[in-house]
Structure 1
Amino acid sequence: MSLRIGDTAPNFEIDTTKGKIKFHDWAKDNWVFFFSHPADYTPVCTTEMGRTSQLAEEFAKRGVIPLGLSTDTVEEHLGWIEDVNATQHTDLQFPIVADKEKKIAQLYDMIHPGESETAAVRSVFIIDPNHKIRLTMTYPMAVGRNFDEILRVIDALQFSDKHNVACPADWQPGDKVIIKPTVSNEEAAKLFPQGWDEQRPYLRFTQIK
């Protein structure tokens, strides 16, 4: 069963490099960047794990906690983390799920037989504090993730939640946003007293500082 935006992220209990976790309990009231990689001791995965670690402060200031996963053992993860730290000049502290039996990878539809029968593809799930899946992305094994986009979409999700707006194409923090079509002009006047630029009745841009 594939998971969709708006679904509750399935709960699970499993061993990680930081001990056994129950996913929903571990996540608590945080946003979660849950991502899979094909295998330890592989080149693209090493750079991705390193980049996630390097961005620890960026994730933290957004209230986001990373959680990695592959179908390797805790022992393999721990040995590989030493390589990640040495080659990527970092200190990896977030937990990595040891999904040797592929139970979580199958639960989250991370095994794509066209890529591999046994290894997970590069799946991304952004999960909110209510354990709802807010975004999914899937990358092939040979292509690493764009972490600028991962941070951008977290910013967009959190900003749109806070202000009840939509974010246009290529939105970056500080850019104008769009008043949702479901918000009437009367409601918008109360919510956005700064006003808006109207290109069409359904296309109203406003600036929120």
Structure 2
Amino acid sequence: MALRINDTFPDLRLETSQGEIASFHDWIGDGWAILFSHPKDFTPVCTTEFGAVAQLADEWAKRNTRVIGLSVDGVDEHRRWIGDIEKIAGGDVTFPIIADEDLAISKQLDMLPAGAYLPDGRTAADSASVRSVFIISPDRKLQLSMTYPMSVGRNFAEVLRALDALQATYQTPVATPANWTGGQDVIVALSLDDDAARARFGEIDTVLPYLRKAKQPA
């Protein structure tokens, strides 16, 4: 069954480039997590993406967010590949990369059908749909997922923006408008009347009866 928004993310047992993770839920800790996946090591788009994630290490830390990659190869391949990623990134890869040679994790996360297998001499095209981003909140719930084709490199500035929006609205009765970035006004939930909105957020700007804006809560 496909993972849906607000489903509890599986508590995975993982083999990674940094050793075993016995419980993905424990690894997340008290913050947020991003799992991003790839169909094969030593492929051009994936290498640039891993490099982009490595370059954002300070930004993930500011947001109390742990990142973890997945690629449908083994630990030894991952450790060799990290050298190429660091060359592209111009810095260290500090996050773990999950090994998924038997496709068990990719199938569990519904990125590949149950009957998928890797043929001899396989290429990235054989696991092409393993190109997803999952953002998981501190309560272990899936908050956002994005899936990309192999030909389109992911924009991790957008992943960062989406993370900011999720954190700004998490367990708070607000939403973010189109193209929102951190620090801009948010939309007050319709579950609050005007008095309740003012009591919660201070001054509100009523653009339309159903579109009211307020300053982003601290």
Band of TM-score, shorter chain:
over 0.9
- Which letter does structure 2 place at the counterpart of 1:192? F
- Which letter does structure 1 place at the counterpart of 2:134? F
- 2:4 is equivalent to residue 4 of structure 1: yes
- Which letter does structure 1 place at the counterpart of 2:66? I
- Which letter does structure 2 place at the counterpart of 1:199? V
Local SS of the residue matching 2:85: helix
Show the 5 A alignment for 1:42-121: 42-111=43-112, 116-121=125-130
Q: Distance in 2 between matches of 1:18 and 1:119?
A: 25
- CA-CA distance at 1:186 after TM superposition: 2.1
Q: Distance in 2 between matches of 1:106 and 1:32?
A: 20
Show the 5 A alignment for 1:107-186: 107-111=108-112, 116-161=125-170, 163-186=172-195
Aligned 8 A contact 1:36 1:110 in 2 = no
- Which letter does structure 1 place at the counterpart of 2:208? R
How big is each residue's C-alpha offset from its partner over 1:46-103, in whole Å with a ceiling of 9 and x where there is no partner?
A: 0000110010000010011111001100000000001111233121010000011101
Q: Distance in 2 between matches of 1:64 and 1:16?
A: 18
Q: List runs of 5+ in structure 1 lacking aligned partners.
A: none
Change (3 A) 1:118 1:192: closer
Match of 2:17 in 1: 17
Aligned 8 A contact 2:14 2:99 in 1 = yes
Aligned 8 A contact 1:105 1:120 in 2 = no
- Which letter does structure 2 place at the counterpart of 1:71? V
Q: TM-score, normalised by structure 2?
A: 0.90
Local SS of the residue matching 1:189: helix
Q: List runs of 5+ in structure 2 lacking aligned partners.
A: 117-123
Paired residues in the alignment total 207
Q: Distance in 1 between matches of 2:149 and 2:129?
A: 10
Q: Distance in 2 between matches of 1:5 and 1:62?
A: 21
- CA-CA distance at 1:162 after TM superposition: 6.2
- 2:197 is equivalent to residue 196 of structure 1: no
Match of 1:207 among 189, 193, 215: 215
Q: Distance in 1 between matches of 2:129 and 2:70?
A: 8
Select between 153-162 and 122-131 the one with higher mean Cα deviation: 153-162
Aligned 8 A contact 1:32 1:64 in 2 = yes
- CA-CA distance at 1:172 after TM superposition: 0.7
Task: State the identity %.
Answer: 47
